[in-house]
């Protein structure tokens, strides 16, 4: 790894107070008090419209290849006009605004206008309209939200889904966003929009069932941005510049990243690219023109960008030129990718760039943990941020992470039973995720992710199997040909795996070569296994991708373990059949 110095940027303290209970419960919290924050998020829009009216809030590629830019002054004025149009339609929490299409300036203005006058916005995954074959999930989320107005930018692409799934009593608009001359009603509605006002309904990814509508209040959004500001004071030093593709129907893109720009008077360049073959080129083009001050991506995105950075000096200079922080989320970043970015930064500007990550959920707005002094290694999630109380509760043989604070959701819209089940007896939100300490007995060193508790199971021996750890190990060992896997073995004697191949990486690879590669992986993992709970005995390569309609995969690419095992139960039985089916790979002894 390069010995180049780390680029100096202001960071918040990384400290923790710990309290143990006799029953094994551990409480963690930052010793620092959370500072004051606005009563609603568009107070910041109004502030920057006064203090920096010409500064660009957001920009998006125009058809001619240039940038369409939206200044703070224009955004504030148009948000008021949109707010009036929504009030004229009688929208409310019972009849919110739903947006079906992707990130755009129009989407942003609708969101700001709705929040400004206290109308909840429900951004819906475009995949439910564009990828789904039967629109079942779209019908489900719209039936739960009961929108009064449904918007999509492109009629040609969304008309079929709208016709099939939008309730008949909802107004539908395509293209131009609704605006009206603002009256005193806008100012009155804005004044009445406070901490408990619902800002958004964000739908969970559905990785453990049907999507739920998570209530996001103004308190959640504003408190969370103040938590970010105290963890990363660098954001206030220079107005942040983001080049970002993360979708706004997810909490990372729609809350975390939009919020960083808006709260700190920064600029968000909407990246139309994606970390996929043929689509990453758009991201490269944008990053050659706009140098971010902080950059967010998923691990696959960093991997996709890496060969372009290695080959293009102009891209490297623009990308690293004023970059202060690299942040990844959603999965573990491979250590070689981490090291490659450090080396490229050192070669380009003589300094390394700080890598950070953390932990969050749709229910936490999302920022609750951060490695704001830098991640010790890939997989770490850091410590709870200022204003958040963390509880580590023993469940089975793991510690479940639970959280309490002003950024935690009050619950799920119109689903009181699910809301009650989501909180424990002390009011902590149950994440269902396990954590473990990087250094046992030293909480200040931080924590790392230890899998999803709900996915773990016992073998007939009574031994617990850590599914998340096994999937990660199989994906790493099988790279680049293994995309993901599902682990089977509940109440069985042995562990088996259904393997989803990486179609792009396997293109041109003979089937027998793929089988030989995976056979070698199984044999090596079997030799390294310490017992039946860590040994994958058999595996089967799947020849069909996971289905979004069957719930096997979420719109952001997460595998629904339980759904795959249910939908492909016949293949699971094949894994355990005797004698072994010819398609099944068996680990060596």
What DSSP string runs through 112-140? HHHHHTT--EEE--THHHHT-SS-HHHHH
Please say whether the beta carbons of 364 and 349 come within 8 A: no
- Per residue in 274-290, pLDDT (tens digit) is 988 889 999 999 999 99
Instruction: Return the exposure string of 334-360: e unless at least 16 CB atoms fall within 10 Å of the residue's CB, then b.
Output: beebbebbbebbbebbebbbbbbbbbb
Chain center to CA of 477: 25
Count the alpha carbons within 13 Å of 84 in the hemisphere toward its beta carbon: 14
Q: Is 569 exposed, middle or buried (0-12, 13-18, 19+ CB in 10 A)?
A: exposed
Of the pLDDT bands very low, low, confident and very high (cuts 50, 70, 90), residue 207 is low
Q: State mean pLDDT over 448-452.
A: 86
How high is the pLDDT of residue 476? Answer: 87
Better pLDDT: 332 or 435: 435
| Helix, strand, coil fractions of the chain, as percent rounded to 5 | 35, 25, 40
Q: Give the integer Cα–Cα distance in Å for 222 and 271.
A: 25
* Cross-strand pairs, 117: none
pLDDT at 1: 45
pLDDT digit string, tens, across residues 389-424: 999 999 988 999 999 999 999 999 999 999 999 999
CA 295-296-302 angle, to 5 degrees, is: 95
Give, as one character, the DSSP assignment of residue 375: -
Q: What is the rounded distance in angstroms from the CA atom of residue 356 to the CA atom of residue 377?
A: 10
- pLDDT of 210: 74
Residue 589 has pLDDT above 60, yes or no: no
Cβ within 8 Å of residue 295, ≥6 positions away: 242, 243, 319, 323, 325, 326, 327
Instruction: Answer yes or no: is pLDDT of 126 > 50.
Output: yes
Average pLDDT over residues 45-64: 98
User: Residue 262 has what DSSP assignment?
Assistant: H
More confident residue, 3 or 63: 63
Q: Tell me the percentage of the chain whose pLDDT exceeds 90.
A: 76
Question: Whose CA is closest to 470, among 514, 403, 388, 526?
Answer: 526
How far, in Å, CA of 314 to CA of 320, rounded?
10
Res 534 pLDDT > 60: yes
Quick: pLDDT tens for 230-265: 999 999 999 999 999 999 999 999 999 999 999 999
Residue 377's pLDDT is: 67
Residue pair 438/445 in contact (Cβ under 8 Å)? The answer is: yes
309-328 mean pLDDT:
97
- Identify the band that residue 133 occupies on the pLDDT scale cut at 50, 70 and 90: confident
**What's the confidence (pLDDT) of residue 336?**
87
Instruction: Indicate the range of 41-50, 275-284, 503-512, 531-540 predicted with least confidence.
Output: 503-512
Kindly state the average pLDDT of the residues 497-524.
90
According to DSSP, the β-strands at 389-395 and 380-384 are unpaired
Residue range 465-476: mean pLDDT, rounded: 87
The rounded mean pLDDT for the chain is: 93
pLDDT given for residue 550 in this prediction: 83
Instruction: Report the sign of the C-alpha dihedral through residues 325, 326, 332, 336, in that order.
Output: negative
Task: Grade residue 99 by pLDDT with cuts at 50, 70 and 90.
Answer: very high
Residue 550 or 23, more confident: 23
Mean predicted confidence (pLDDT) in 194-215: 87
563 and 525 in contact (C-beta within 8 Å)?
A: no
Flag whether pLDDT at 315 surpasses 70. Answer: yes
- At residue 332, the pLDDT reads 74
pLDDT for 375 equals: 67
What are the angstrom distances between the C-alpha of 216 and each of 40, 364, 414, 515, 551? Answer: 12, 9, 14, 46, 24
Look up residue 381 and give its two tokens.
């999630």
pTM of the model: 0.86
**Domains in the chain and their CATH numbers?**
67-193 (3.40.50.980), 457-586 (3.30.300.30)
Does 12 or 308 have the greater pLDDT score?
A: 308
pLDDT per residue over 3-45, tens digit each?
A: 799 898 888 878 899 999 999 999 999 999 999 999 999 999 9
CA distance 520 to 169: 58
Which residue(s) pair with 326 in the sheet? 295, 355
């Amino acid at each position: 790894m390069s010995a180049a110095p780390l680029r100096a940027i202001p960071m918040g303290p990384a400290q923790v107070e710990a309290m143990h209970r006799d029953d094994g419960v551990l409480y963690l919290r930052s010793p620092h008090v959370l500072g004051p924050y606005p009563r609603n998020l568009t107070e910041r829009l109004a502030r920057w419209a006064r203090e920096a009216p010409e500064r660009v809030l957001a920009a998006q590629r125009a058809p001619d290849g240039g940038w369409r830019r939206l200044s703070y002054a224009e955004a504030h004025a148009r948000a008021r006009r949109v707010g009036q149009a929504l009030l004229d339609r009688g929208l409310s929490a019972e009849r919110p605004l739903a947006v079906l299409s992707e990130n755009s300036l129009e989407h942003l203005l609708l969101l700001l206008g709705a929040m400004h006058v206290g109308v909840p916005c429900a951004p819906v995954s475009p995949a439910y309209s564009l990828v789904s074959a039967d629109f079942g999930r779209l019908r489900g989320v719209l039936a739960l939200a009961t929108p009064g107005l449904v918007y999509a930018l492109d009629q040609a692409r969304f008309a079929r889904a709208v016709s099939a799934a939008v309730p008949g009593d909802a107004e539908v608009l395509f293209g131009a966003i609704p605006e009206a001359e603002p009256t005193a009603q806008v100012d009155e509605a804005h004044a009445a929009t406070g901490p408990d006002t619902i800002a958004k309904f964000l739908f969970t990814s559905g990785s453990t069932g049907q999507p739920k509508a998570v209530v996001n209040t103004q308190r959640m959004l504003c408190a969370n941005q103040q938590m970010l500001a105290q963890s990363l004071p660098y954001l206030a030093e220079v107005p942040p510049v983001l080049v970002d593709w993360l979708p706004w129907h997810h909490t990372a893109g729609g809350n975390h990243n939009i919020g960083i720009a808006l709260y700190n008077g920064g600029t968000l360049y909407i990246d139309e690219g994606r970390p996929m073959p043929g689509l990453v080129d758009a991201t490269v083009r944008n990053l050659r023109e706009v140098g971010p001050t902080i950059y967010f991506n998923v691990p696959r995105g960093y991997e996709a960008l890496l060969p372009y950075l290695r080959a293009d000096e102009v891209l490297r200079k623009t990308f690293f030129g004023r970059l202060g922080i690299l942040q990844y989320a959603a999965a573990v970043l491979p250590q070689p990718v981490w090291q490659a970015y450090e080396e490229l930064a050192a070669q380009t500007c003589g300094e390394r760039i700080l890598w950070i990550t953390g932990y969050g959920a749709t229910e936490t707005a999302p920022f609750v943990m951060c490695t704001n002094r830098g991640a010790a290694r890939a997989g770490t999630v850091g410590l709870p941020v200022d204003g958040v109380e963390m509880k580590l509760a023993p469940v089975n043989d793991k510690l479940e992470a639970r959280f309490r604070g002003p950024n935690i959701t009050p619950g799920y819209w119109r689903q009181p039973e699910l809301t009650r089940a989501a909180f424990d007896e002390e009011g902590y939100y149950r994440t269902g995720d396990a954590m473990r300490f990087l250094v046992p007995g030293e909480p200040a060193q931080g924590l790392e992710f230890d899998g999803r508790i709900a996915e773990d199971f016992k073998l007939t021996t009574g031994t617990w199997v850590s599914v998340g750890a096994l999937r990660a190990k199989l994906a790493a060992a099988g790279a680049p040909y293994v995309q993901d896997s599902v682990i089977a073995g509940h109440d069985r004697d042995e562990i088996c795996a259904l393997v989803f191949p990486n179609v792009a990486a396997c293109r041109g690879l003979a089937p027998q070569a793929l089988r030989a590669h995976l056979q070698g992986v199984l044999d090596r993992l079997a030799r390294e296994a310490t017992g039946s709970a860590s040994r994958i005995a058999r595996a089967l390569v799947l020849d069909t991708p996971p289905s979004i309609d069957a719930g096997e995969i979420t719109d952001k690419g997460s595998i629904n373990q339980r759904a795959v095992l249910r939908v492909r139960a016949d293949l699971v039985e094949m894994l355990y059949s005797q004698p072994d089916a010819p398609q099944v790979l068996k680990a060596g002894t």
